[in-house]
Structure 1
Amino acid sequence: MDTSMRLTLWPLRLLLTLHLVAVLAQPVLAGRFLTGDIDAIAAHGLVGSLLAASGLVLIGLTLLYVLAGRGRLWVAPAGVVLFLAIGIQVGAGYSRDLALHVPLGVAVVLASVLLAIWVWSPSAGRSR
């Protein structure tokens, strides 16, 4: 792995790992709210908003990884799609559209798990 790849991959790994932790906290916080912990919904909303904000950083890091690090091309569009999905997810949550919020949440969790697994795989360290 060359220096430019290493310099762009490690921040991406760190962000996607932290992103995954936050994403996995979301169903736990929602479940706590449903079991009567009213304060958990405020934390759920805060974490969702932080995920949306970190999505902008994710887009920047994926672009650096692709352009400067010569990483896999599909990673940048995947970061954009994840950012957009989280934005829609936050909007659906605040509008209480659970018919969209719950299945989209499952999709965001799945995509986040897959991206976090991939970013730590040997394939992520290979340039194109």
Structure 2
Amino acid sequence: MNPPVPRRSPLTAWIGWSAFTTAALVLATVVAQPVWAGLFLTGDIGMLAAHQQGANLATLVLVVDLVLRILWWSPCRGPALGVWLNLALTAALYIQYVLGQDRLLQFHFPLGVGLSLLSAWLVVHSWRSVRRIGGAA
């Protein structure tokens, strides 16, 4: 079964590019997390707060991304995979946050790698979806 063809409209293109941008922001914050954590381990105590604020920022951007993806998927007939990837990322990020707060680092570190890979997949999927509809911003 072929996926539905998105409607080609300025709104569809705008939502698609916005979803791509938010996915890229999520990837940037997720990839910055080990940098902040590493700087904390070298003795810069303030980086632990930056690590926590980075997780908060990633969560906020994921919520905005989810709203955009639902709008892109439902009324604009865009790809549903982005919604599911976002939900998986949101759940994994929540689990990651709890594991970090409980200092369960043996699970926190590998899940962080998984978050990076899942975030990269969301960006690639977003880019391909925007290119498929030919959305010019």
**TM-score w.r.t. structure 2 length?**
0.84
Label 1:68 to 1:125 Cα distance change in 2 as closer, same or farther (>3 A).
farther
- Report the Cα offset of residue 22 of structure 1: 0.9
Give structure 1 regions of 4+ aligned residues with deviation exceeding 6 angstroms: none
Q: Give SS of 1:126's match.
A: helix
1:126 aligns with 2:132: yes
Q: Write the deviation string for residues 91-120 of structure 1: whole angstroms up to 9, x where unpaired.
A: 111111112211111100111112112212
Size of the alignment, in residue pairs?
126
Label 1:17 to 1:50 Cα distance change in 2 as closer, same or farther (>3 A).
same
The corresponding residue for 1:103 is 110
Report if the CA contact (8 A) 1:71-1:124 is conserved: no
- Report the Cα offset of residue 125 of structure 1: 3.9
Write the distance in 1 (CA, Å) between the matches of 2:130 and 2:86.
14
Report if the CA contact (8 A) 1:71-1:126 is conserved: no
Write the distance in 1 (CA, Å) between the matches of 2:72 and 2:92.
21
**TM-score w.r.t. structure 1 length?**
0.89
Report if the CA contact (8 A) 2:22-2:62 is conserved: no
The corresponding residue for 1:2 is 8
The percent identity for this pair of structures is 34
The 5-angstrom pairing of residues 40-55 of structure 1 reads 40-55=47-62
| Correspondent of 2:65 among 58, 61, 81 | 58
Structure 1 residues not aligned, in runs of 5+: none
Write the distance in 2 (CA, Å) between the matches of 1:69 and 1:20.
25
- What RMSD, in angstroms, separates the aligned Cα atoms of the two structures? 1.6
Write the distance in 2 (CA, Å) between the matches of 1:64 and 1:111.
21
The corresponding residue for 2:4 is none
Report if the CA contact (8 A) 1:66-1:72 is conserved: yes
For the pair shown, which has the larger CA radius of gyration, 1 or 2? 2
Letter in 2 for 1:126: R
Structure 2 residues not aligned, in runs of 5+: 1-6
